[in-house]
């Protein structure tokens, strides 16, 4: 008899707690192979195709496109045929309490049913499957007919599904022990809305408090506050005069009045992640900005000469961004104070040994910051090639979470938007960001005479906890010197 295995949304890594279903890649009744992508989801980091660790027939899907699911919520069920020739104890269904099961994983029973062994973080089997086996067509038809979720034994990991339609918030008895919360995002969300986590009953594994639990508590508090406000204002509300037309006003969930017909856009996915990160940066980092105008005429001439080279010295085209990135790595070698982060709990400045250079890229899904790993070990050509590769992945929405995290310094070329200057917000938890405006012809005093030169404005926003203005000014001045006299870089090549 076929077994129906439940596949839950796995831990996609990097502390992500939920994902939105963008597109289903399979239908109910489809035959799927082990490790075949079954759904495309959008996290706060990137678009991800989620592969299924089971091979068999899809008997049910959970959630429509556009639905946001927490990690551990059921994605789909797959009917898997019993191994051929199995009998006796060896043919018994795998137990959800076996060592391969965990509250975080989604692949319980995968070892005995041909699990993948890898797939994504947080699920999959620990040992490789013995062999793959095709299910005979007659068994597939029979499995689909007899497996409407409740008709066949469902093997599932010990993960408690978070209630979706529940509005009431379950309160847990107040305890002096540790609060069962893993995600920093959940803690911050509760702190911003004055939610006492000790009074919440978590719906996750072992009572773990999920973001959905905090969201329900926030909605309940807002509804209570709105009801109280309406009750208090009802007796004192003046009658509207018939001759005076009034503009209809709708009460927003947070009590802020909004005009009728106002559009509400949920802060989720990439936009929500950007909002959370920028808010945290503004809250935690005491930033300051300094800027300087630089004559980039010589830098543009050097780039033109590089790209015009022919013969053995010819190579791929060099971008201005690649040159500026190489200048940044040279400047950070001289001023390592800015390649750092602050450990607020330990009250320590952590200077980082390598430069992982992030660069801001605007895409249809919003602002993302891909990271060039080990930029301090790369030359201009290598940095340029990696920037081009990551930019193409960003445009197609195929950047992985690992390619969007771990940066130590960010280069922001806002000049592509046709602006000269900006005071950007630091990409938390980094300590600095270099901003580059547009390069355009301007009058400039050159060698004692007024001339038209290619001028750019450079700005450095830095965390004042890691250094003082002298260090930040020295870094920015060195970058400007390299822009005005590219030959300065020859000392560090």
**What residues are annotated to the active site?**
464
Q: Pseudo-torsion of CA 247, 250, 255, 256, nearest 10°?
A: -50
- Measured distance CA(101)–CA(221) in Å, rounded: 36
Is 419 in contact with 398 (CB distance < 8 Å)?
no
- Measured distance CA(412)–CA(459) in Å, rounded: 10
Nearest to 339 by CA among 374, 368, 369: 374
DSSP result, 416-429: GGT-S---PPP-TT
- Measured distance CA(155)–CA(458) in Å, rounded: 59
Specify burial of residue 271 (Cβ count, 10 A radius: 0-12, 13-18, 19+). Answer: middle
- In this structure, the number of other CB atoms found within 10 A of the CB of residue 393 comes to 19
Q: Pseudo-torsion of CA 459, 465, 470, 472, nearest 10°?
A: -30
- Measured distance CA(41)–CA(3) in Å, rounded: 26
- Measured distance CA(316)–CA(64) in Å, rounded: 45
Is 80 in contact with 114 (CB distance < 8 Å)?
yes
Nearest to 69 by CA among 20, 131, 120: 20
Is 182 in contact with 205 (CB distance < 8 Å)?
no
Nearest to 269 by CA among 165, 167, 404, 392: 404
- In this structure, the number of other CB atoms found within 10 A of the CB of residue 294 comes to 24
């Amino acid at each position: 008899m076929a077994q129906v295995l439940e596949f839950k949304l796995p831990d996609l890594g990097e502390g992500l707690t939920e994902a939105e279903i963008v597109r289903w890649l399979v239908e109910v009744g489809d035959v799927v192979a082990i490790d075949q992508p079954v759904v495309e989801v959008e996290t706060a980091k990137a678009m991800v195709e989620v592969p299924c660790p089971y091979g068999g027939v899809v008997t049910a899907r959970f959630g429509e496109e556009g639905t946001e699911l927490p990690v551990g919520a059921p994605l789909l069920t797959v009917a898997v045929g019993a191994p051929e020739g199995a009998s006796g104890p060896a043919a018994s269904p795998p137990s959800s309490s076996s060592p391969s099961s965990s509250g975080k994983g989604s692949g319980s029973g995968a070892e005995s049913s041909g699990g993948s062994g890898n797939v994504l973080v947080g699920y999959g089997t620990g040992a490789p499957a013995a062999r793959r086996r095709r299910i005979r067509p007659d068994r597939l038809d029979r499995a689909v007919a007899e497996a409407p979720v409740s008709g066949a034994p469902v093997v599932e990991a010990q993960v408690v599904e978070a209630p979706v339609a529940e509005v009431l918030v379950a309160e847990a008895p107040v305890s002096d022990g540790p609060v069962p919360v893993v995600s920093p995002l959940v803690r911050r969300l509760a702190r911003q809305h004055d939610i006492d986590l000790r009074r919440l009953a978590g719906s996750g594994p072992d009572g773990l408090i999920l973001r959905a639990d905090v969201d329900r508590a926030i909605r309940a508090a807002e509804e209570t506050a709105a009801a109280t406000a309406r009750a208090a204002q009802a007796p004192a509300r003046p009658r509207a005069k018939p001759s005076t037309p009034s503009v209809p006003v709708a009460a927003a969930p947070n009590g802020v009045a909004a005009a009728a017909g106002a559009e509400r856009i949920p802060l989720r996915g990439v936009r929500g992640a950007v909002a959370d990160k920028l808010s945290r940066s503004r809250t935690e980092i005491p930033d300051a900005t300094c800027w300087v105008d630089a004559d980039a005429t010589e830098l543009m001439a050097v780039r033109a000469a590089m790209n015009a080279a022919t013969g053995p010295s010819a190579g791929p085209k060099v971008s201005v961004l690649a040159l500026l990135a190489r200048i940044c790595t040279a400047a950070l070698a001289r001023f390592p104070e800015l390649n750092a982060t602050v450990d607020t709990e330990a009250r320590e400045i952590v200077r980082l040994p390598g430069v992982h250079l992030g660069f801001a890229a605007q895409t249809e899904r919003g602002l993302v910051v891909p990271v060039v790993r080990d930029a301090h070990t790369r030359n201009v050509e290598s940095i340029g090639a990696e920037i081009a590769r990551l930019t193409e992945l960003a445009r197609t929405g195929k950047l992985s979470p690992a390619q969007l995290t771990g940066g130590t310094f960010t280069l922001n070329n806002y000049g592509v938007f046709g602006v000269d200057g900006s005071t950007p917000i630091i990409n938390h938890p980094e300590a600095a960001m270099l901003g580059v405006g547009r390069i355009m012809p301007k009058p400039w005093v050159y060698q004692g005479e007024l001339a038209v030169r290619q001028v750019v404005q450079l700005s450095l926003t830095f965390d004042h906890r890691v250094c003082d203005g002298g260090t930040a000014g020295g870094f920015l001045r060195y970058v400007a010197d390299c822009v005005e006299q590219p030959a300065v870089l020859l000392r560090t090549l």
